[in-house]
Amino acid sequence: MDAIGNFSARLGLVLLVVTQAGVEPRAASDLHAQSAAVVLSRQFSDPDLNFIALDDHGNVVAQRWPDADKTMGVGSLVKPFVAVTYGRTHSSFPKFHCAGKTTCWLPRGHGTLGMTDAVAFSCNSYFRQLAAAGGPVLAQTVRDRFGVVLDDQGISGKAVPFSLAHSYLELANSKAERAVAPVIDGMALSARRGTGKAVGSHLRNFSVLAKTGTAPCTHGHKAPGDGFALVMAPADHPRIVLLVRVHGRPGATAADTAGRMLAAIESDGASQ
């Protein structure tokens, strides 16, 4: 069995349920799940960390996120849905130039880029131009179809974490669709050398899909912002969808945390 197959099998062994009151294995007799629950509870007990994990059927298999059913800012995690919505009503994706400075988070700019690179490097300038090209109907369609509320520029927005994780799984299951394929390719590139590259640094034996974001803090103890990461693994047929929020840290930190969580699951499965 290859590395990807091994990881898929291990995920099947170590799926667990985490409740707000503590960690509970899905089945008391499942020693693999019990072991994985101990690993995550010990290594990822930071109260500033929230996470939701879904299996490939959309079932919640792990959770520590008390307000996951409430709408909140999720930053750039909305960008793939802007892209797919645009792609479904246009024959192709355009190329745009990012000059940086005040138009993007990267001061020097990303240069001229297409959809795959725009997703991988989360280019604000590209998505601002794409949203403008899509017209006023684009934001409403994104909201109606995916439950994602865009800001007035199309580069950030709000969503319900549970719903957002399911919408990403839907994209992964539609990866053959013309409007979705470049987005999925962008998420794969993100995990290799884009804004989500910290994920890939922990998981070198197989490929993953990643998207990062940073949003205003919603915690009682305020911070400049909260980092988000959405990771799906393995990339070719995700067995797990992991949504992570880290209080007071950027999206790159959330990606690093998500990578360490998946690595811990893999390592625990390999030791069984």
Contact indicator for 65, 52 with CB cutoff of 8 Å: yes
Q: Is 246 part of any domain?
A: yes
What is the model's pLDDT at position 72? 95
Provide block-wise average pLDDT over 10 residues at a time, the chain (272 residues): 50 41 36 50 80 87 87 97 98 97 96 98 98 96 97 96 97 97 98 94 86 83 82 90 91 93 75 52
Give the Cα separation of 73 and 228 in Å (integer).
10
Residue among 57, 69, 65, 55 nearest 19 (CA):
65
Expressed as residue numbers, the domain containing 43 is 3-77+153-270
Residue 113's beta-bridge partner residues? 96
Report pLDDT for 271: 53
241 within some domain: yes
Q: Is residue 253, in this structure, part of any structural domain at all?
A: yes
For residue 38, the model assigns a pLDDT of 61
176 in a domain, yes or no?
yes
With respect to residue 73, please indicate whether it lies within any of the assigned structural domains.
Answer: yes
pLDDT value, residue 13: 42
CATH number of the domain within which 46 lies: 3.40.710.10
210 found inside a domain: yes
Judge whether 206 and 234 are in contact, CB under 8 Å: yes
Residue entry with tokens 């006023």: 136
d(Cα 102, Cα 80) in Å, to the nearest integer? 22
d(CA 73, CA 217): 8
232/200 Cα distance (integer angstroms): 11
- Has residue 177 been placed in a domain? yes
Residue 21, pLDDT score: 34
Asked if residue 249 belongs to a domain, the reply is yes
Q: What's the number of domains the chain is made of?
A: 1
